[in-house]
Structure 1
Amino acid sequence: METTSSVTKYTWDAMPREQLSDQLSRRLITGQDVMLAHVYLKQGCIVPLHHHINEQITYILEGALRFHIGAADGEEIIVRAGEVLHIPSNVPHMAEALEDTLDVDIFSPPRQDWLDKSDDYLRKK
Protein backbone atom coordinates (compact mmCIF):
# COMPACT_ATOMS: atom_id res chain seq x y z
CA MET A 1 0.00 0.00 0.00
CA GLU A 2 1.36 3.39 -1.01
CA THR A 3 -0.11 6.68 0.25
CA THR A 4 0.38 10.20 -1.07
CA SER A 5 -1.70 13.00 0.49
CA SER A 6 -5.21 11.51 0.55
CA VAL A 7 -4.64 9.07 -2.33
CA THR A 8 -3.81 5.40 -1.67
CA LYS A 9 -2.51 2.86 -4.17
CA TYR A 10 -3.08 -0.85 -3.46
CA THR A 11 -1.67 -4.07 -4.93
CA TRP A 12 -4.03 -7.05 -4.58
CA ASP A 13 -1.24 -9.59 -4.07
CA ALA A 14 0.15 -7.51 -1.20
CA MET A 15 -3.22 -7.32 0.56
CA PRO A 16 -3.93 -9.77 3.40
CA ARG A 17 -6.25 -12.61 2.39
CA GLU A 18 -8.88 -13.42 5.01
CA GLN A 19 -9.81 -17.11 5.08
CA LEU A 20 -13.49 -17.41 6.05
CA SER A 21 -13.88 -21.15 5.45
CA ASP A 22 -12.18 -23.95 3.54
CA GLN A 23 -13.94 -22.74 0.37
CA LEU A 24 -14.15 -18.96 0.81
CA SER A 25 -11.63 -16.16 1.26
CA ARG A 26 -11.41 -12.45 0.45
CA ARG A 27 -9.30 -9.31 0.28
CA LEU A 28 -10.83 -5.91 1.11
CA ILE A 29 -10.17 -2.30 0.21
CA THR A 30 -12.43 0.19 1.95
CA GLY A 31 -12.96 3.88 1.30
CA GLN A 32 -15.29 6.22 3.11
CA ASP A 33 -18.40 5.37 1.05
CA VAL A 34 -17.47 2.26 -0.92
CA MET A 35 -15.87 -1.17 -0.40
CA LEU A 36 -14.07 -3.20 -3.04
CA ALA A 37 -13.41 -6.89 -2.46
CA HIS A 38 -11.74 -9.78 -4.24
CA VAL A 39 -13.76 -12.84 -3.26
CA TYR A 40 -12.28 -16.30 -3.88
CA LEU A 41 -14.76 -19.21 -3.97
CA LYS A 42 -13.88 -22.83 -4.58
CA GLN A 43 -16.25 -24.90 -6.72
CA GLY A 44 -19.26 -25.93 -4.65
CA CYS A 45 -18.95 -23.05 -2.17
CA ILE A 46 -22.36 -21.82 -1.03
CA VAL A 47 -22.94 -18.26 0.15
CA PRO A 48 -26.15 -18.70 2.19
CA LEU A 49 -29.29 -16.68 1.64
CA HIS A 50 -28.84 -13.20 3.10
CA HIS A 51 -29.59 -9.54 2.47
CA HIS A 52 -27.99 -6.25 3.46
CA ILE A 53 -28.59 -2.53 3.19
CA ASN A 54 -25.57 -2.26 0.90
CA GLU A 55 -26.02 -1.91 -2.83
CA GLN A 56 -23.85 -4.60 -4.46
CA ILE A 57 -22.19 -4.98 -7.84
CA THR A 58 -20.55 -8.34 -8.55
CA TYR A 59 -18.12 -8.63 -11.46
CA ILE A 60 -16.88 -12.14 -12.25
CA LEU A 61 -13.21 -12.21 -13.30
CA GLU A 62 -12.81 -16.01 -13.39
CA GLY A 63 -15.30 -18.87 -13.02
CA ALA A 64 -19.08 -18.67 -12.57
CA LEU A 65 -21.64 -18.14 -9.81
CA ARG A 66 -25.26 -19.26 -9.73
CA PHE A 67 -27.36 -16.71 -7.84
CA HIS A 68 -30.82 -17.23 -6.43
CA ILE A 69 -32.57 -13.89 -6.07
CA GLY A 70 -35.43 -13.30 -3.64
CA ALA A 71 -35.28 -16.71 -1.92
CA ALA A 72 -33.40 -20.03 -2.04
CA ASP A 73 -35.81 -21.15 -4.77
CA GLY A 74 -36.09 -17.65 -6.29
CA GLU A 75 -35.06 -16.42 -9.72
CA GLU A 76 -31.86 -18.14 -10.87
CA ILE A 77 -29.16 -16.10 -12.60
CA ILE A 78 -25.81 -17.52 -13.70
CA VAL A 79 -23.02 -14.95 -13.92
CA ARG A 80 -19.83 -15.94 -15.77
CA ALA A 81 -16.41 -14.38 -16.35
CA GLY A 82 -16.79 -10.95 -17.90
CA GLU A 83 -20.36 -10.50 -16.63
CA VAL A 84 -21.69 -8.19 -13.93
CA LEU A 85 -24.69 -8.52 -11.59
CA HIS A 86 -26.22 -5.53 -9.77
CA ILE A 87 -28.09 -6.38 -6.55
CA PRO A 88 -30.08 -3.48 -5.07
CA SER A 89 -30.22 -2.79 -1.35
CA ASN A 90 -32.11 -5.33 0.82
CA VAL A 91 -32.72 -7.89 -1.96
CA PRO A 92 -32.34 -11.43 -0.54
CA HIS A 93 -29.83 -13.54 -2.48
CA MET A 94 -27.60 -16.58 -2.27
CA ALA A 95 -24.80 -17.85 -4.50
CA GLU A 96 -23.15 -21.12 -5.46
CA ALA A 97 -19.73 -21.37 -7.14
CA LEU A 98 -20.17 -23.53 -10.24
CA GLU A 99 -16.37 -23.64 -10.60
CA ASP A 100 -13.42 -22.04 -8.85
CA THR A 101 -14.31 -18.35 -9.01
CA LEU A 102 -12.74 -14.95 -8.44
CA ASP A 103 -15.20 -12.12 -8.23
CA VAL A 104 -14.92 -8.43 -7.54
CA ASP A 105 -17.66 -7.19 -5.22
CA ILE A 106 -18.36 -3.50 -4.81
CA PHE A 107 -20.55 -2.37 -1.90
CA SER A 108 -21.95 1.02 -1.04
CA PRO A 109 -21.84 1.83 1.78
CA PRO A 110 -19.02 -0.49 2.97
CA ARG A 111 -20.13 -3.73 4.64
CA GLN A 112 -19.77 -3.07 8.35
CA ASP A 113 -20.33 -6.77 9.13
CA TRP A 114 -17.29 -7.60 6.97
CA LEU A 115 -15.18 -4.96 8.70
CA ASP A 116 -16.10 -5.98 12.25
CA LYS A 117 -16.17 -9.70 11.35
CA SER A 118 -19.77 -10.22 12.48
CA ASP A 119 -20.63 -11.98 9.19
CA ASP A 120 -21.11 -15.37 10.87
CA TYR A 121 -23.22 -16.71 7.99
CA LEU A 122 -20.02 -16.74 5.87
CA ARG A 123 -17.76 -18.22 8.54
CA LYS A 124 -19.44 -21.60 8.97
CA LYS A 125 -16.93 -24.41 8.59
Structure 2
Amino acid sequence: MDERPRRSAWKDLVTESLLGGTVKRRYVYGKNAMVAQIWLTKGAEVAEHVHEAEQITQVFTGALRLIFRTTGETHDVRAGEVIVIPPNVPHAAVALEDTYESDTFSPRRDDWINGTDAYLRTPRR
Protein backbone atom coordinates (compact mmCIF):
# COMPACT_ATOMS: atom_id res chain seq x y z
CA MET A 1 0.00 0.00 0.00
CA ASP A 2 1.20 3.49 -0.82
CA GLU A 3 2.74 5.27 2.18
CA ARG A 4 1.54 8.72 1.09
CA PRO A 5 -1.63 10.45 2.31
CA ARG A 6 -4.75 9.75 0.21
CA ARG A 7 -7.75 12.08 0.10
CA SER A 8 -11.18 11.02 -1.13
CA ALA A 9 -14.65 12.50 -1.35
CA TRP A 10 -17.26 10.15 0.09
CA LYS A 11 -19.57 10.88 -2.86
CA ASP A 12 -16.93 9.60 -5.30
CA LEU A 13 -16.50 6.21 -3.64
CA VAL A 14 -18.31 3.10 -4.84
CA THR A 15 -21.53 2.45 -2.91
CA GLU A 16 -22.29 -1.26 -2.53
CA SER A 17 -25.84 -2.58 -2.25
CA LEU A 18 -26.09 -5.60 0.08
CA LEU A 19 -28.73 -7.90 1.58
CA GLY A 20 -31.17 -7.37 -1.27
CA GLY A 21 -30.69 -3.60 -1.20
CA THR A 22 -31.62 -3.18 2.48
CA VAL A 23 -28.03 -2.23 3.34
CA LYS A 24 -25.78 0.15 1.43
CA ARG A 25 -22.18 0.97 2.28
CA ARG A 26 -19.05 2.71 1.11
CA TYR A 27 -15.70 2.73 2.82
CA VAL A 28 -12.10 3.84 2.84
CA TYR A 29 -9.22 1.96 4.37
CA GLY A 30 -5.56 2.21 5.15
CA LYS A 31 -3.04 -0.33 6.27
CA ASN A 32 -4.46 -0.66 9.80
CA ALA A 33 -7.98 0.76 9.86
CA MET A 34 -11.21 1.19 7.89
CA VAL A 35 -14.07 3.70 8.08
CA ALA A 36 -17.46 2.99 6.48
CA GLN A 37 -20.65 4.92 5.85
CA ILE A 38 -23.65 2.59 6.10
CA TRP A 39 -27.36 3.03 5.36
CA LEU A 40 -29.90 0.43 6.53
CA THR A 41 -33.61 0.41 5.77
CA LYS A 42 -36.00 -0.20 8.65
CA GLY A 43 -36.16 -3.93 9.35
CA ALA A 44 -32.83 -4.75 7.70
CA GLU A 45 -31.16 -7.65 9.51
CA VAL A 46 -27.42 -8.27 9.60
CA ALA A 47 -26.80 -11.90 10.58
CA GLU A 48 -24.59 -12.78 13.52
CA HIS A 49 -20.94 -12.55 12.60
CA VAL A 50 -17.57 -12.14 14.26
CA HIS A 51 -14.32 -10.47 13.23
CA GLU A 52 -10.90 -9.76 14.69
CA ALA A 53 -11.42 -6.00 14.38
CA GLU A 54 -12.47 -3.71 17.18
CA GLN A 55 -15.58 -1.89 15.90
CA ILE A 56 -16.84 1.56 16.79
CA THR A 57 -20.36 2.28 15.52
CA GLN A 58 -21.77 5.83 15.52
CA VAL A 59 -25.45 6.28 14.67
CA PHE A 60 -26.23 9.62 13.02
CA THR A 61 -29.92 9.08 12.17
CA GLY A 62 -32.30 6.26 13.06
CA ALA A 63 -31.61 3.40 15.47
CA LEU A 64 -29.90 0.00 15.47
CA ARG A 65 -30.48 -2.93 17.78
CA LEU A 66 -27.22 -4.79 18.38
CA ILE A 67 -27.61 -8.32 19.67
CA PHE A 68 -24.85 -10.12 21.56
CA ARG A 69 -26.19 -13.66 21.88
CA THR A 70 -23.15 -15.04 23.72
CA THR A 71 -23.52 -12.51 26.54
CA GLY A 72 -27.31 -12.19 26.38
CA GLU A 73 -27.04 -8.42 25.88
CA THR A 74 -29.05 -6.23 23.52
CA HIS A 75 -28.21 -2.57 22.95
CA ASP A 76 -30.43 -0.12 21.09
CA VAL A 77 -28.08 2.53 19.70
CA ARG A 78 -29.88 5.69 18.61
CA ALA A 79 -28.97 8.89 16.76
CA GLY A 80 -26.18 10.67 18.60
CA GLU A 81 -24.96 7.50 20.34
CA VAL A 82 -21.89 5.34 19.85
CA ILE A 83 -20.98 1.77 20.85
CA VAL A 84 -17.60 0.05 20.98
CA ILE A 85 -17.62 -3.66 20.12
CA PRO A 86 -14.46 -5.48 21.23
CA PRO A 87 -12.62 -7.81 18.83
CA ASN A 88 -13.91 -11.38 18.42
CA VAL A 89 -17.35 -10.71 19.97
CA PRO A 90 -20.17 -12.28 17.91
CA HIS A 91 -22.94 -9.80 17.15
CA ALA A 92 -25.97 -9.23 14.92
CA ALA A 93 -27.95 -6.09 14.09
CA VAL A 94 -31.48 -5.04 13.20
CA ALA A 95 -32.40 -1.57 11.94
CA LEU A 96 -35.24 -0.30 14.14
CA GLU A 97 -35.67 2.68 11.79
CA ASP A 98 -34.13 3.82 8.54
CA THR A 99 -30.58 4.37 9.77
CA TYR A 100 -27.42 6.15 8.69
CA GLU A 101 -24.33 5.19 10.66
CA SER A 102 -20.57 4.93 10.49
CA ASP A 103 -18.41 1.97 11.45
CA THR A 104 -14.70 2.26 12.20
CA PHE A 105 -12.63 -0.92 12.30
CA SER A 106 -9.09 -1.68 13.41
CA PRO A 107 -7.57 -3.69 11.92
CA ARG A 108 -9.31 -3.14 8.60
CA ARG A 109 -11.90 -5.65 7.35
CA ASP A 110 -10.14 -7.55 4.57
CA ASP A 111 -13.29 -9.70 4.12
CA TRP A 112 -15.08 -6.53 2.96
CA ILE A 113 -12.24 -5.59 0.64
CA ASN A 114 -11.99 -9.02 -1.01
CA GLY A 115 -15.77 -9.72 -1.05
CA THR A 116 -15.79 -12.73 1.31
CA ASP A 117 -18.26 -11.13 3.75
CA ALA A 118 -20.98 -13.68 2.91
CA TYR A 119 -23.18 -12.65 5.86
CA LEU A 120 -23.80 -9.34 4.03
CA ARG A 121 -24.21 -10.80 0.55
CA THR A 122 -27.03 -13.30 1.11
CA PRO A 123 -30.40 -11.94 2.30
CA ARG A 124 -31.89 -13.72 5.33
CA ARG A 125 -35.05 -15.74 4.80
Structure-1-length-normalised TM-score: 0.90
Give the % identical residues: 43
Q: Deviations over 1:64-95 (max 9, x none)?
A: 10011144x82110001111000000011111
User: How many angstroms apart in 2 are the aligned matches of 1:6 and 1:70?
Assistant: 41
User: How many angstroms apart in 2 are the aligned matches of 1:49 and 1:40?
Assistant: 18
Letter in 2 for 1:36: V
Q: Report the Cα offset of residue 10 of structure 1.
A: 1.7
The count of residues paired between Structure 1 and Structure 2 equals 120
User: How many angstroms apart in 2 are the aligned matches of 1:40 and 1:69?
Assistant: 21
1:57-72 matched pairs, under 5 angstroms? 57-71=56-70
User: How many angstroms apart in 1 are the aligned matches of 2:69 and 2:32?
Assistant: 26
Superposed CA RMSD in Å reads 1.5
1:40-55 matched pairs, under 5 angstroms? 40-55=39-54
User: How many angstroms apart in 2 are the aligned matches of 1:82 and 1:13?
Assistant: 22
Equivalent position of 1:9 in the other structure: 7
Equivalent position of 1:109 in the other structure: 107
Letter in 1 for 2:16: E
Q: Which runs of 4+ in 1 moved over 3 A?
A: none
Equivalent position of 1:123 in the other structure: 121
Whether contact under 8 Å (1:70, 1:91) holds in the other structure is: no
1:8-27 matched pairs, under 5 angstroms? 8-21=6-19, 22-27=21-26
Structure-2-length-normalised TM-score: 0.90
User: How many angstroms apart in 2 are the aligned matches of 1:122 and 1:53?
Assistant: 17
Letter in 2 for 1:20: L
Q: Report the Cα offset of residue 52 of structure 1.
A: 0.7
- SS of match in other structure, 2:6: strand
User: How many angstroms apart in 1 are the aligned matches of 2:8 and 2:62?
Assistant: 24
Q: Choose between structure 1 and 2: higher strand proportion.
A: 1
Q: Is 1:93 equivalent to 2:91 in the alignment? A: yes
- SS of match in other structure, 1:8: coil
